[in-house]
């Protein structure tokens, strides 16, 4: 009687074993144990099964059916195949001569090395949207990938899922995805969940931001001129005093500036619009805060392709404290416009290029760009879209991405 050895006990191997055994061939299946089918949590609409069935149960029933027609199953691992007078399958537990051998070992997936992923296969982790999209109808789904295959999976999920997020896991985007797909570029730290997937833990990551090219060099946050810049410019003078630390030097510089001449007549050119303002101070903002916590531009986004420009008119010394309190806390700006209490004192614009120069004949104006201070005859801040890349720690990265998603 001829014999056959089948390597692999998945659906293909067991199906082959059924046919060879029914044909009267002595059939042995070599198996390393449960395969990919075993990890399928639930299979629906399978012919012959009115109710859903788990992959493990379907695999068990298939093997029992094969045993019923005489197929022998041996738990071992094939390690070699030779041929002299006939084929011989070499295993860890001995050799199996055979007239024929069928390789039904399946294919190993290229699975990302993400903690928690393998343990949740079949419990929220899937490798085939065409097969499993039905299970995710009305749910928030994430697809790991960046290219055409990921695009195919996304397209299968979009009609049924509540939302689809593409997780690039640090890879560059290599296909054009529909606009309704949220793209997250950062690395994946872990897939979360015990019995089922509950979420994905993302790592910190790199973000592209706008920069400003100024006469004082590149700036990522704010270019300012006037009272605040004068205070910053005066701090080193007081730091030279023995035992005068940073906070004391800052306070003394404020006092000095308030005791001197306050305000300048300044001409601004803002994307071609020219304004001459009796100015206390001004800030051209790519970021939101500067100068020890001044919340100058509460709604600025460093990657939106715009600079937020705030000009504060000259006021009396009695008004300065109240005005700066408003400015420091960000109460001067809400929902894209100046608040009513700020309108008498502030001018607001959005721009891509801002220039300013003194118009009072009193010489240079002190300006600062991200802390670098100097007197300037004129200063220009020109937007450079997405010219900088910043590596953010995880909490800051999550805040940045949340703000971007809400824009």
Two structure tokens written together for 112: 């990302």
Boundary of a domain, candidates 186, 203, 220:
203
110 falls within a domain: no
Three-state DSSP state, 224: strand
Total length of the chain: 407
pLDDT of residue 407: 62
Please check whether residue 38 is in contact with residue 58, taking contact to mean a CB–CB distance below 8 angstroms: no
Boundary of a domain, candidates 203, 237, 257:
203
Boundary of a domain, candidates 103, 135, 169:
103
On whether both 233 and 366 belong to a single domain, the answer is yes
111 falls within a domain: no
269 falls within a domain: yes
290 falls within a domain: yes
Two structure tokens written together for 77: 């691992």
On whether both 213 and 175 belong to a single domain, the answer is no
On whether both 126 and 48 belong to a single domain, the answer is no
Please check whether residue 143 is in contact with residue 191, taking contact to mean a CB–CB distance below 8 angstroms: no
On whether both 247 and 317 belong to a single domain, the answer is yes
Which element (helix H / strand E) includes 285?
Answer: strand 273-285
pLDDT of residue 347: 97
- The predicted model scores a pTM of 0.55
On whether both 215 and 349 belong to a single domain, the answer is yes
On whether both 199 and 216 belong to a single domain, the answer is no
In this predicted model, what pLDDT tens digit does every residue of 294-306 receive, in sequence order?
Answer: 899 999 999 999 9
Q: What is the DSSP letter of 164?
A: E
In this predicted model, what pLDDT tens digit does every residue of 66-114 receive, in sequence order?
Answer: 999 999 999 999 999 999 888 999 999 999 999 999 999 987 777 888 9
Mean pLDDT of 37-60: 85
CATH of the domain at 236: 2.60.200.40
User: How confident is residue 268, by pLDDT bands cut at 50, 70 and 90?
Assistant: very high
Q: What is the DSSP letter of 15?
A: H
Higher pLDDT, 249 or 334: 334
Residue ranges making up the domain that contains 259: 209-406
User: How confident is residue 291, by pLDDT bands cut at 50, 70 and 90?
Assistant: confident
On whether both 221 and 341 belong to a single domain, the answer is yes
On whether both 165 and 23 belong to a single domain, the answer is no
In this predicted model, what pLDDT tens digit does every residue of 214-230 receive, in sequence order?
Answer: 999 999 999 999 998 99
In this predicted model, what pLDDT tens digit does every residue of 152-179 receive, in sequence order?
Answer: 999 999 999 999 999 999 899 999 999 9
On whether both 146 and 98 belong to a single domain, the answer is no
194 falls within a domain: yes
On whether both 240 and 320 belong to a single domain, the answer is yes
CATH of the domain at 197: 3.50.50.60
On whether both 216 and 129 belong to a single domain, the answer is no
In this predicted model, what pLDDT tens digit does every residue of 350-365 receive, in sequence order?
Answer: 999 999 999 999 999 9
* β-bridge pairing 3-7 and 26-31: parallel
Number of structural domains the chain divides into: 3
On whether both 243 and 390 belong to a single domain, the answer is yes
């Amino acid at each position: 009687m001829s014999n056959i050895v089948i390597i692999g006990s998945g659906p293909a191997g067991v199906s082959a074993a059924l046919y060879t055994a029914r044909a009267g061939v002595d059939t042995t299946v070599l198996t390393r144990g449960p395969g990919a089918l075993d990890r399928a949590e639930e299979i629906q609409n399978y012919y012959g099964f009115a109710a859903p069935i788990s992959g493990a149960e379907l695999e068990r029933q298939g093997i029992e059916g094969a045993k019923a027609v005489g197929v022998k199953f041996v738990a071992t691992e094939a390690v070699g195949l030779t041929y002299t007078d006939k084929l011989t399958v070499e295993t860890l537990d001995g050799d199996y001569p055979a007239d024929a051998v069928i390789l039904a070992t399946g294919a190993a997936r290229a699975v990302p090395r993400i903690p928690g992923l393998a343990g949740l296969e079949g419990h929220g982790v899937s490798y085939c949207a065409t097969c499993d999209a039905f299970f995710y109808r009305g749910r928030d789904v994430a697809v790991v990938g960046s290219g055409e295959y990921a695009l195919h999976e996304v397209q299968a999920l979009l009609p049924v899922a509540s939302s689809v997020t593409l997780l690039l896991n640090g890879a560059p985007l290599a296909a054009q995805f529909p606009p309704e797909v949220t793209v997250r570029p950062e690395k994946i730290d872990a897939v979360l969940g015990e019995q089922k997937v509950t979420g994905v833990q993302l790592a910190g990551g790199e973000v592209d931001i706008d920069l400003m090219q100024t006469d004082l060099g590149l700036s990522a946050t704010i270019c300012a001129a006037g009272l605040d810049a004068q205070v910053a410019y005066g701090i080193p003078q007081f730091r030279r005093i023995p035992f005068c630390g940073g906070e004391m030097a800052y306070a003394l510089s404020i006092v000095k500036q308030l005791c001197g001449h306050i305000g300048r007549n300044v001409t601004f050119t803002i994307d071609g619009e020219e304004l001459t303002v009796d100015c206390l101070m001004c800030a051209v903002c790519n970021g939101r805060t500067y100068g020890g916590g001044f919340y100058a531009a509460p709604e600025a986004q460093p990657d939106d392709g715009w600079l937020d420009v705030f000009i504060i008119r000259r006021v009396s010394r009695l008004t300065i404290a109240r005005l700066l309190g408003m400015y420091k806390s960000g109460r001067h700006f809400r929902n894209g416009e100046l608040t009513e209490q700020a309108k008498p004192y502030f001018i607001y614009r959005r721009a891509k290029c801002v220039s300013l120069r003194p118009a009072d004949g009193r010489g240079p104006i002190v300006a600062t760009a991200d802390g670098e201070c100097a007197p300037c005859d004129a200063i220009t801040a020109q937007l450079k879209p997405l010219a900088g890349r910043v590596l953010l720690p995880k909490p800051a990265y999550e805040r940045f991405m949340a703000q971007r998603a809400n824009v």
